[in-house]
Structure 1
Amino acid sequence: MASREELAQQLDPGSTVLLTVECQEGVVGAQSALPELAAQARSSGVLRNAARLVGAAHEAGVQVMHAVAERRPDGRGASRNARVFRSAARLPVQQHSGSAAVRVAAPIDVADEDFVVRRLHGLSPVAGTEVDALLRNVGCRTLVVTGVSANVAVPAAVFDAVNLGYTAVVVADAIAGVPAEYTPAMIRNTLSLVATITTTDAVLGCWKRPRRTPNTYRPGPAASHA
């Protein structure tokens, strides 16, 4: 865990973006395609903590971004090169574009100033999407990652963020995976090697400041490519 001072520096509202990963009705909602994951996200408080973080980010002027996974009803352009994609295509609930399944799930609030980035292919919320360009255009240096799942999309987002030069912060009690014991093992043995690990309460403590204008473009590179 980072010290309070180090965390506060990393989470400066003017250069931080909060990312929710696949916190959508068809994944963590009542009619989830993945009921075990949805149950874990809700019973553990992960979805509630993600909502608390989004609310605090809105109050502090931190840019919020919601990454949503979806597919066209005809499947055109969808990835088929891994078992997880083929399995998902057979699930009774499909993440079809424009359907209720791809709406950001309650109790997470989506504000007018939030970005909602939708992808039709791949495993990562970052690679091959608009995320990197948007982060740079708002002057992001630190990406705070929340959501699901700790099995695939969350670590993919963290690795891609680090490879692109951002500082990644993982909120340990705001991510979920299955089985339940897998998430702390992933955090301890993998994510802690590349990201700052923290808690919802620690982040909220850093963001309890007077409201300021959301991130705006700043001249110069937002992240190093060294």
Structure 2
Amino acid sequence: MTSADRLAALLRPATTALLTVECQRGVVGSDSVLPELAAAARDSGVLDRVGRLVAGAHAAGAAVLHAVAIRRPDGRGANRNARLFRAADRLPVKQLDGTDAVRLTEEIPVADTDLTVTRLHGLSPIAGTDVDALLRNLGCRTLIVTGVSLNIAIPNAVFDAVNLGYDVVLPADAVAGVPADYAAAVVRHSLSLVATVTTTDDILAAWKR
């Protein structure tokens, strides 16, 4: 069996879901509170490739979930036990539920069948959210992880999914982090040990076989 055959078997649409992580306007949009990360995601074409993967999943019949980080106006329930969270409290744009900051960027096509999962706390788009239960109810065994960032949320998602028993596929050209050399090192030296690292084109080709 060739590597393309193995990838196609792993990505059977009936048992595969695509997860976009924090591809929201307040994180990677033009008004991002994290301009360096937003530039890395946009200038490298990551957001465009995430959009292509979402469209490909829709066409193939694979499930699509969007993980969005939100906050309440009063901040209740949010973590404050790390420097990252305390810095977020001081940012001028809050990821408030119902605002443009938590809407997906224009590169991401959203279908009526897509599921959106929000989180008020923590670092992971999976732990402490509905993602695992939704995936199991959908009959999914393989999870494609896309989006941002390779600094924190993407590694959390990959490790959590693997710990829960899912096969994880990581399109290395559809995830971003800063700086770029660090992001590449995370994929090469950590995530490649637990996930199948591939490309956007290879995933789309597998769905067309």
Paired residue secondary structure (2:175):
strand
Number of the residue aligned with 1:117? 117
**SS in structure 2 of the partner of residue 67 of structure 1:** strand
Alpha carbons 1:23, 1:148 under 8 Å: kept = yes
Q: Deviations over 1:85-137 (max 9, x none)?
A: 11111111110111100001111011100000000000000000000000000
Aligned residue identity for 1:77: G
Aligned residues: 208
Cα distance between partner residues in 2 of 1:70 and 1:95: 5
Query: 1:181 deviation in Å?
Result: 1.2
* TM-score, length of structure 1 as denominator length: 0.91
Q: CA deviation at 1:6?
A: 1.1
Q: Cα offset for 1:9? A: 0.8
1:3 deviates by: 1.2
The answer for the alignment partner of 2:85 in structure 1 is 85
Cα deviations by residue, 1:138-158 (Å, 9 ceiling, x for unpaired): 001000000000000000000
CA distance in 2 between counterparts of 1:59 and 1:165 reads 26
Question: Runs of 5+ in structure 2 lacking a partner?
Answer: none
TM-score, scaled relative to structure 2: 0.98
Percent of pairs with identical residues: 66
1:200-224 C-alpha deviation (Å, 9 max, x unpaired) = 0000001126xxxxxxxxxxxxxxx
Unaligned runs of 5+ in 1: 210-226
Contact 1:14 1:62 in 2 (8 A): yes
User: Deviations for 1:147-191, whole angstroms, at most 9, x for unmatched residues?
Assistant: 000000000000000000000111100000001111110000000
Q: After superposition, where does 1:167-182 map in structure 2 within 5 Å?
A: 167-182=167-182
Greater helix percent: which structure? Answer: 2
For the residues of structure 1 that align with 2:73 and 2:180, how far apart are their CA atoms? 32
Is 1:65 the counterpart of 2:55 in the alignment? Answer: no
Which amino acid in 2 is paired with 1:186?
V
In structure 1, C-alpha distance between the alignment counterparts of 2:87 and 2:5, rounded to whole Å: 44
Please identify, of 122-131 and 83-92, the stretch whose mean Cα deviation from structure 2 is larger: 83-92
User: Could you tell me which residue of structure 2 aligns to residue 21 of structure 1?
Assistant: 21
* C-alpha RMSD over aligned residues: 0.9
Asked whether the 8 Å contact 1:56–1:208 carries over to 2, the reply is no
Indicate conservation of the 8 Å contact 1:147/1:175, yes or no.
Answer: yes
One-letter amino acid of the structure 1 residue matched with residue 199 of structure 2: T
Q: Which residue of 1 aligns with 2:166?
A: 166
In the TM superposition, structure 1's runs of 4+ consecutive aligned residues that sit over 3 Å from their partners are none
